[in-house]
Each structure stands twice: as C-alpha cells, then as structure tokens.
Amino acid sequence: MSANKETFGKTVGFVLAVCIVCAAVVSTAAVGLKQKQIDNKALDQQTKILEAAGILPETVNKSSVNSTFDQFVEAKMIDLDSGDYIDGNPELFDERRNSRDAQKSDKPENDMAGINRRSHDAVVYLVRNGAGEVETVVLPIVGSGLWDLMFGYVGLEADLNTVKNVIYSDHKETPGLGAEVMNPKWIAMWPGKKIYGEGDVVKANLVKGGAKSGDMHGVDALSGATLTSNGVTRTLQFWFGEEGYLPYIKKNRGGLN
C-alpha cells in the first residue's frame, strides 16, 4: 500500500514538474516573441501604406520599407467630425480599441459599412516627394465583408479624388472568392479611378458583371463574392462620406500640408 502511495506521489510530482517547466517555457517564449510580433505588425502596416501610395520598394525587406517610410511618409492625427489636424501620437492610435470605447467613439447615423461604432479620431498618412511636396494621402478604411471586418488603405492623389491604390491588409474572406481583394489583378484595376462624382457624391463602386469601358468610378466586382463586393462598395461610401473623411477632404482640397 505504501509502495502504491509512493508511486502515486512520484507521478503527481512528475506531472507538476512538467507543467511548471512547460509553463515557464511558454511564458518565456511569449515574452521573447512579443516585441518581434509588434515589429512584424508595424512592418506589415508600413508595407501596405507604401503600396497604397504607389512607392513600395522593388526589394521588400525591413530595411527598405523602414527607410522609405521614414523618408517620405508623415502620419498625422485628425478629428473626423471637423476634419482638423489634432495633437496625438499616431503610433499609439488604435482605431478598433477606440471604437470599443464609448468615450472615444460614436454610433454612425448611417452605418452602411457595418462597423457598429466609429472612432472620433483617425490617422492619415501624407506621402511627400523628394521636394517635400505632398503627392499622396493614404487613408485607412474598415468595413464588413462576408465573415468579419475587412481593413485596408486607400491612396489618393493630391486632388483627393483620384485613386492611387486600394490595398486590403487584413480580412477573413473566403479564399478564391472574397479573398480576391488581395489579388494583384484586381488591385491593378483601381489606379486612376475617381471616388467622387458631382456634389461630393461617392461614386466609387464594384460593378457586378464588370465595369464598362470608360467608367471612371466602377471596378469589376469580385466573381462569386457578391456580399464581399457589396461590403467594399459600402465601406468606400461610408469612409468618403460625411461621417468619414469628407470633412477632412473638403478642408484640404486647396493643398495638403
């Protein structure tokens, strides 16, 4: 009997020791990898912003992306309601975190993008040329797709109407269908398209069956992904409307600075 107890005790002790060691290894790995995860997230964000601005280096690596971003891109905080620049640290800003805070967000009157709440503030990215002139502004967007929220960036030329690129960075859409928002062939349809028509009406949209030749606002819808395509259209309509970036765009049409 005592031998059984001794064996049981040893077994329990061994299991506890293994658990403690495993917990220590996992904890150490999590702490050690945290900064790397943060760095990788920042690198991916910078890569997508440069792609939206049309200045992504030919050789994409941490050094080339960081140096290009630091040289040409300036991040600024804005108040979405007024369109004014405000003080704040763009590196610490988190739109999704703000949107979950009732003190820092509001429910849109017309939530066509399906985001539930919209942060009071946003970050815009001014992209300058070698002479220091702003040639492009990159604006983050978020809206519902088929399965979840889709996050992306829209690069606009200095006229604040002509599209440089529309780049999605994060989504959970179906591979081969909604996930085609990441397809280079679809992305290549956007440059030169116009966001607005007359009277600041958002005309940019995805056209089921394909956009007609000469359509300055339409881009081919994603084949077999009607709900995702509708989500992209509604996201653009929301973020370039009055509850999105339109107040900022109106104030800066005379020249970005």
CB 125 within 8 A of CB 137: yes
* Alpha-carbon distances, residue 120 vs 81, 149, 188 (angstroms): 7, 19, 32
Q: Residue 116: left (phi > 0), alpha (psi -120 to 50), or beta?
A: left
Neighbours of 238 (CB within 10 A): 24
- Please report, as a single letter, which amino acid is at residue 178: G
3-state SS string over the chain? Answer: CHHHHHHHHHHHHHHHHHHHHHHHHHHHHHHHHHHHHHHHHHHHHHHHHHHHHCCCCCCCCHHHHHHHHHHHEEEEEEECCCCCEECCCHHHCCHHHHHCCCCCEECCCCCCCCCCCEECEEEEEEEECCCCCEEEEEEEEEEECCCCEEEEEEEEECCCCEEEEEEEEECCCCCCCHHHHHCHHHHCCCCCCECECHHHCECCEEECCCCCCCCCCEEECCCCCHHHHHHHHHHHHHHCCCCCCHHHHHHHCCCCC
Overall pTM > 0.85: no
pLDDT value, residue 67: 94
Q: Tokens for 51, please give them.
A: 């792609």
Determine the pLDDT at residue 26.
63
Predicted local confidence at residue 34, as pLDDT: 56
What is the mean pLDDT for each group of 10 consecutive residues in the chain (257 residues)?
60 71 64 63 89 91 93 96 95 91 94 94 95 94 87 95 91 62 89 95 93 93 87 95 96 83
Note the pLDDT of residue 180: 75
CA 30 to chain centre: 25
Q: Is the dihedral of CA 110, 113, 119, 122 positive or negative?
A: negative
What pLDDT sits at residue 42? Answer: 80
Q: Tokens representing 27?
A: 């904890």
Which pLDDT does position 148 carry in this prediction? 83
And the tokens for 39? 């760095």
Residue 192 in tokens = 């030169």
